[in-house]
Amino acid sequence: MSATSFRHRATGKLGTFAGVFTPSILTILGLILFRRLGYVVGAAGTFHMLFIILLAYAIAILTASSLSAIATNLRVKSGGDYYLISRSLGAEFGGALGIVLFLAQATSVAFYCIGFAEGVAAFFPAAPPSSSTLFAVIAVLFLFVFAWLGSDWATRLQYVVMAMLVAGLGSFFIGGALQFSAATLQANWSYGAGGEGNFWLLFALFFPAVTGFTQGVSMSGDLADAGRSLPSGTFAAVAVSLVVYVASALLFAGSLPNAELVAGYDSMDRIAAFPGLITVGIVAATLSSALASFLGAPRILQALAADRVFPLLMPLEHGHGATNNPRRAVLLTLVIALFVVSLGGIDFIAPIVSMFFLISYGLLNYATALEARAKSPSFRPRFRWFHYRASLLGAGACLALMLMISPWASAVALALLLVLYQYVQRLAPSHRWADSRRDNYFHAVRKNLLAMTKEPLHPRNWRPHLLVFSDQPRRRAALIEFATTIEGGAGLTTVVRLLEGRGDEMIATCRQAEKEMQAEIDASDLKAFALVVAGPSIEAAAATLVQSYGIGPIRANTILLNWLDEQKPGDPGTDQRIEQRFARTLRAAARLGLNAVVLDAKEQPWDRMRQVPPGDRRIDVWWSADRTGHLMLLLAYMITRTDDWSDARIRLLVRTSKGAEAEAAAHTQEVLRDVRIDAEVLPLVARDYDEVLARSDDASLVFLPLRLRHMRVVDPFGEPIHGLLESLPVVALVAAVEDIDLDAEPEDTNGDVDEEPLRAPSAAGG
């Protein structure tokens, strides 16, 4: 069965009472209530016990509110908490948490079965200590049968279990009411018995009691209407169980002194009117909780397998029968439960269970806060009683409680989550579902863009925002790589392709071409966007794009394009008309206020440059003391901020007259000190391009000023540049229209580039 068919298969039959309230309440009113609540009351004192209950239920209520908000905004499929979080925070968080949740549920099976074994062992006082482990193993195997048969059989069993649970609680409440003493309650109010136990350890021991309220979510794939049943059933279970726990704590505190409560785990038996029914209740509570976990854990794993998050788990996707019962995952849950049973007792496992569930609740709250904070139009939950601040409070409270319980255990749990997150992010296959991350990115972008419009643009804020024009795939890869290199991780790069045409067919062509170009960029692992624009002519498309590109304060400030294609002498492509059209493009960019960078990267020089070890690379900048020189120097520096060029040397070649070399070198060194860029200065007297070749033919990259004369590109000496480019390595020709003040101070106010008139630079004005 495919992942898609699994996710959309309608198998839900259970309603609110059978599918949510009953499994939740049976898990909450479980082992802790019957076997540990009296001990915690005695160790903590009544006041602190009530505080523990209210704190635990505050987490439960905040999380239930978040859960209800997400559950009523989605058609909840199988997987419970995993499904909700993965569809909100993405596959990385969802996949990591899915494994943690599965382990938590599988561990809970053993946790509750060990509690069952404690109750049964009381009937056999002469049995050896190992008998408890045997009873726990028998309980795990017994429940495995029902989990193997499926949720229908488990649902039938849970009504019998509920009747047994009610009988046990009834016996306790009757006995507690008969023995209750206000004086005993008052004596037990403030302090525990001899300061027994650390408060946070007692909290960790109690907290698994409230974790059962998510059992309904674990069964979400079996619900007929998850969006309606999950909120109502969950809150009903939370409310009823809160009343039971508060009332039970008061009855314990009013019936026995604290010293007797901490003397053992059988205080409920000593209070109950019919002690035998307490054993019945223990059996019912532990088996029902274990069964709920036995049903929930495999479904989380099955959902993970169906989503292809972890390829190793894919065989566990397949289910059995009309309800798609995950029998393979049930077998794995059995193995883990039996292993945990062999490790130890309740007091050892309880903090582990608490830690796992606190992580899941924290992420569930965080996911809801992000969904609500992003203000996506698609976030329309039918459950209205929530607020993103309350969800953030729940997330923060879960993290704080984890640290309070055990900083070391918290660190280990969070490290496990991080390792799984990194695995899914880097190695797992791509995923196709939508989550809230894009909405949150948009929300942050919108907020920051609006804030940017209120801040004046200053020369210190200049960053390269590149429009990279490329129509030839064979030359595009080098151009994009160069763009992301000169951007230095500080700006934005948009790769543009221009098409000539109009109409619906051309719109479809543009979309397909843009998709293919973005895939090409992503395959190269380069940080750039793709954009395809069509117009009645290439020139019209370019003019429209340059004027309209961007949003708010984010506008392109530099164009980057390839030098004219490699031509052979006599080839018609070398005629003057092609070069004139190229020159008109550069002039048009200048009129629109855009700097221009032209890359000449022939295949062999480009490959040689990439093979040079990073420490041996050199960037030659043919310095001109104008805006173009400033831009060339800044781009050379930006290149050295990338990993591959971080050890490259920058060399400024300063043309000067004979006898003025020392003065030119001193002045240029002063400029470099002012702008805080390290570079070697080489003053020289150069009369023709032979001097350029002699000095820069062994450089890795050469920056030259871009100049136009009579609508042709010329070298620094006014001669056609073709011969120079044929002999040099990789060359970048640069023309700047902006005055980029490299040494601007924060207090400077006269360099606002917004007020600089748009004019063609002298470097391109010829």
- Alpha helices (H) in 272-345, listed in sequence order: 275-306, 327-341
Per-residue confidence (pLDDT) for residue 718, from 0 to 100:
79
The amino acid present at 354, given as its one-letter code, is S
Q: Is the model more confident about 474 or about 4?
A: 474
Q: Considering only 91-100, 120-129, 245-254, 281-290, which range has the smallest mean pLDDT? A: 120-129
Per-residue confidence (pLDDT) for residue 367, from 0 to 100:
83
For 320, which DSSP code? B
- Domain range for 310 is 3-437
For residue 321, give Cα distances in angstroms to 388, 627, 746. Answer: 40, 74, 71
Per-residue confidence (pLDDT) for residue 565, from 0 to 100:
66
Q: Which of 51-60, 219-228, 303-312, 576-585 has the highest mean pLDDT?
A: 51-60
- Please report, rounded to a whole number, the percentage of residues in the chain having pLDDT higher than 70: 90
User: 519-553 b/e with 16+ CB inside 10 Å = b?
Assistant: ebbeeeebebebbbbbbeebeebbbebbeebeeeb
Quick check: is 340 in a domain? Answer: yes
pLDDT band, very low/low/confident/very high, at 457 (cuts 50, 70, 90): confident
Co-location of 549 and 404 in the same domain? no
pLDDT in tens, 381-437: 888 888 889 999 999 999 998 888 888 878 888 888 888 888 887 766 555 566 677
Q: What is the dihedral of CA 154, 231, 73, 292, to 10 degrees?
A: -20
Co-location of 344 and 463 in the same domain? no
Backbone angles phi, psi at 27, to 5 degrees: -80, -40
Per-residue confidence (pLDDT) for residue 758, from 0 to 100:
31
Per-residue confidence (pLDDT) for residue 702, from 0 to 100:
94
What SS3 class is residue 123?
coil
Co-location of 566 and 656 in the same domain? yes
Distance CA 618, CA 601 (A): 16
Q: Mean pLDDT across the stretch 214-226?
A: 70
pLDDT band, very low/low/confident/very high, at 759 (cuts 50, 70, 90): very low
Burial zone of 747 (CB within 10 Å; 0-12 exposed, 13-18 middle, 19+ buried):
exposed
Q: Mean pLDDT across the stretch 585-605?
A: 88
The amino acid present at 589, given as its one-letter code, is A
Quick check: is 58 in a domain? Answer: yes
With a CB cutoff of 8 Å and minimum separation 6, the contacts of 104 are 353, 356, 357, 360
Cα 149–Cα 152–Cα 156 angle in degrees, nearest 5:
105
pLDDT band, very low/low/confident/very high, at 597 (cuts 50, 70, 90): very high
Per-residue confidence (pLDDT) for residue 433, from 0 to 100:
65
Q: Considering only 433-442, 675-684, 754-763, which range has the smallest mean pLDDT? A: 754-763
pLDDT band, very low/low/confident/very high, at 248 (cuts 50, 70, 90): very high
Per-residue confidence (pLDDT) for residue 184, from 0 to 100:
93
Co-location of 575 and 687 in the same domain? yes
Using an 8 Å Cβ cutoff, are 449 and 554 in contact?
yes
Distance CA 15, CA 222 (A): 9
Q: Mean pLDDT across the stretch 127-144?
A: 86
Distance CA 394, CA 483 (A): 45
Co-location of 372 and 502 in the same domain? no
Quick check: is 450 in a domain? Answer: no
Q: Out of 402, 437, 472, pick the residue that ends a domain.
A: 437
Token code pair at residue 75: 């058609």
The amino acid present at 436, given as its one-letter code, is S
pLDDT band, very low/low/confident/very high, at 542 (cuts 50, 70, 90): confident
Token code pair at residue 480: 């994009």
The amino acid present at 138, given as its one-letter code, is I
Adjacent-strand bridge partners of 495: 468, 530
- Round the CA-based radius of gyration of the chain to a whole number and report it: 36
Co-location of 417 and 474 in the same domain? no
For residue 316, give Cα distances in angstroms to 45, 325, 514, 716. Answer: 47, 11, 38, 69
Distance CA 119, CA 114 (A): 9
Burial zone of 127 (CB within 10 Å; 0-12 exposed, 13-18 middle, 19+ buried):
middle
- Return the residue matching tokens 């009683």: 385
- Return the residue matching tokens 């060399």: 651
Q: Which of 288-302, 327-341, 464-478, 568-582 has the highest mean pLDDT?
A: 327-341
Per-residue confidence (pLDDT) for residue 762, from 0 to 100:
37
Co-location of 489 and 384 in the same domain? no
pLDDT in tens, 723-735: 788 888 999 999 9
Co-location of 431 and 471 in the same domain? no
Co-location of 633 and 524 in the same domain? yes
pLDDT band, very low/low/confident/very high, at 9 (cuts 50, 70, 90): very low
The amino acid present at 545, given as its one-letter code, is L
Quick check: is 453 in a domain? Answer: no
Q: Out of 389, 405, 437, pick the residue that ends a domain.
A: 437
CATH code of the domain containing 379:
1.20.1740.10
Q: Mean pLDDT across the stretch 31-37?
A: 88
Per-residue confidence (pLDDT) for residue 735, from 0 to 100:
92
Assess whether pLDDT exceeds 80 at residue 14. no
Q: Out of 376, 406, 437, pick the residue that ends a domain.
A: 437
Per-residue confidence (pLDDT) for residue 465, from 0 to 100:
92
CA nearest neighbour of 288 among 18, 56, 13, 28 = 28
Per-residue confidence (pLDDT) for residue 614, from 0 to 100:
86
Co-location of 739 and 690 in the same domain? yes
With a CB cutoff of 8 Å and minimum separation 6, the contacts of 218 are 80, 81, 105, 292, 295, 296, 297, 299, 300
Q: Tell me the residue length of the chain.
A: 766
The amino acid present at 599, given as its one-letter code, is L
Distance CA 495, CA 477 (A): 10
Number of domains in the chain: 2
Distance CA 483, CA 493 (A): 7
Quick check: is 513 in a domain? Answer: yes
Per-residue confidence (pLDDT) for residue 629, from 0 to 100:
92
Backbone φ/ψ region at 194: left (φ over 0), alpha (ψ -120 to 50), beta: left
Quick check: is 306 in a domain? Answer: yes
Distance CA 81, CA 85 (A): 6
pLDDT in tens, 631-653: 999 999 999 988 889 899 999 99
Q: Mean pLDDT across the stretch 513-539?
A: 87
- Return the residue matching tokens 């200049």: 462
Burial zone of 187 (CB within 10 Å; 0-12 exposed, 13-18 middle, 19+ buried):
middle
Using an 8 Å Cβ cutoff, are 521 and 470 in contact?
no
Co-location of 509 and 619 in the same domain? yes
CA nearest neighbour of 26 among 217, 350, 288, 277 = 288
Per-residue confidence (pLDDT) for residue 126, from 0 to 100:
72
Using an 8 Å Cβ cutoff, are 213 and 56 in contact?
no
pLDDT band, very low/low/confident/very high, at 162 (cuts 50, 70, 90): confident
Q: Mean pLDDT across the stretch 509-513?
A: 90
Co-location of 430 and 464 in the same domain? no
Q: Is the model more confident about 277 or about 152?
A: 277
With a CB cutoff of 8 Å and minimum separation 6, the contacts of 581 are none
Assess whether pLDDT exceeds 60 at residue 196. no
Burial zone of 470 (CB within 10 Å; 0-12 exposed, 13-18 middle, 19+ buried):
buried
The amino acid present at 332, given as its one-letter code, is L
Per-residue confidence (pLDDT) for residue 8, from 0 to 100:
36
Distance CA 93, CA 90 (A): 6
- How high is the mean pLDDT of the chain? 83
Adjacent-strand bridge partners of 681: 652
pLDDT in tens, 56-102: 999 999 999 998 888 888 777 777 778 877 887 778 888 888 888 88
Q: Mean pLDDT across the stretch 687-695?
A: 80
The CA-to-CA distance between both ends of the chain, in Å, stands at 69
Using an 8 Å Cβ cutoff, are 679 and 632 in contact?
no
With a CB cutoff of 8 Å and minimum separation 6, the contacts of 377 are none
Distance CA 378, CA 366 (A): 18
Q: Mean pLDDT across the stretch 555-565?
A: 88
Q: Is the model more confident about 628 or about 104?
A: 628
Quick check: is 449 in a domain? Answer: no
Quick check: is 541 in a domain? Answer: yes
Q: What is the dihedral of CA 575, 577, 583, 589, to 10 degrees?
A: -140
What SS3 class is residue 95?
helix
